[in-house]
A = this chain, B = another copy of it.
Amino acid sequence: MAEQIQKKPSRIQQRNRRKILDAALDVFSAHGFRGATLDQIAEQAGLSKPNILYYFDGKEEIHVTVLSQLMETWLDPLAGLDPKGDPLTEILTYVQRKLEMSRDLPRESRLFANEILQGAPRMDPHLRADLKPLFDARCAVIQAWMDAGKLAQVDPRHLIFSIWATTQHYADFQAQIDVLLEGQEPTDTAAQFLQTMFRNLLTPGQNSTPA
């Protein structure tokens, strides 16, 4: 019923919306939805609070917008897994990309973790619409690889979960890792460790799965 008129956004419009969304990513990822305040976002964005509500209808809309933008970025590496590539290489490359995303986009990782941890109240539809189909398709690809004897037989679903878990852990639990690795050589062995683990797991003929 209201003003549904879509005008082409001005340059200022675009720039300020971007500034707000970037500030929101900062604040939401650090404090969660409820923990974040418009004041913090406004200060981070360098705009006044009412001005922020000139560009977005409210806190909720800002959060939803940040989350949907995140979804694309987040699915990208899994979508990039090539069914025609060499199976082991494809998966190890995927692991590597996910680990790099943890390093380069920790805010995004934490924002995602926050949302899922709270039960995915706002992201649930996105998960069903976007993630679920991709997940099923990729599971099928991996299963086909295993059936063709090109990868050791494991449950593809838990394989993907374990890749997500291990790589995202470095961003999501950074505060803990910082404490535990404090004063130690600034090792970059996470990548090496994960490559070894998943290579060992997936190299054909390795899994003498008992019982």
Contact = CB atoms under 8 A, between A and B. Distances in A.
Closest 7 CB pairs of A and B: A165-B169, A34-B35, A158-B193, A120-B175, A165-B165, A127-B179, A200-B200
B176 A120 contact: yes
A117 B29 CA distance: 9
B155 A189 contact: yes
Contact of A34 (B31, B158, B166, B172): B31
Contact of A118 (B30, B127, B201): B30
A89 interface: no
Interface string A191-211: 011101100110000110100
A103 interface: no
A5 to B, nearest CB: 35
Nearest to A168: B165
11 contacts: A116-B172, A116-B175, A120-B175, A124-B175, A127-B179, A131-B179, A135-B180, A161-B190, A162-B193, A164-B173, A192-B209
Interface string A148-173: 00000011011101101110111011
A119 B30 contact: yes
Nearest to A176: B116
Interface string A107-145: 000100110111110001001100110010000000000
A56 interface: no
Contacts of A164: 169, 173
Of A30, A110, A162, chain B has the most CB atoms within 10 Å of the CB of A162
Interface of A: 30-35, 110, 113-114, 116-120, 124, 127-128, 131-132, 135, 154-155, 157-159, 161-162, 164-166, 168-170, 172-173, 175-177, 179-182, 184, 187, 189-190, 192-194, 196-197, 200-201, 206-207, 209
Given A35-B35, A165-B165, A158 B190 contact: yes
Contacts of A113: 113, 117, 172-173
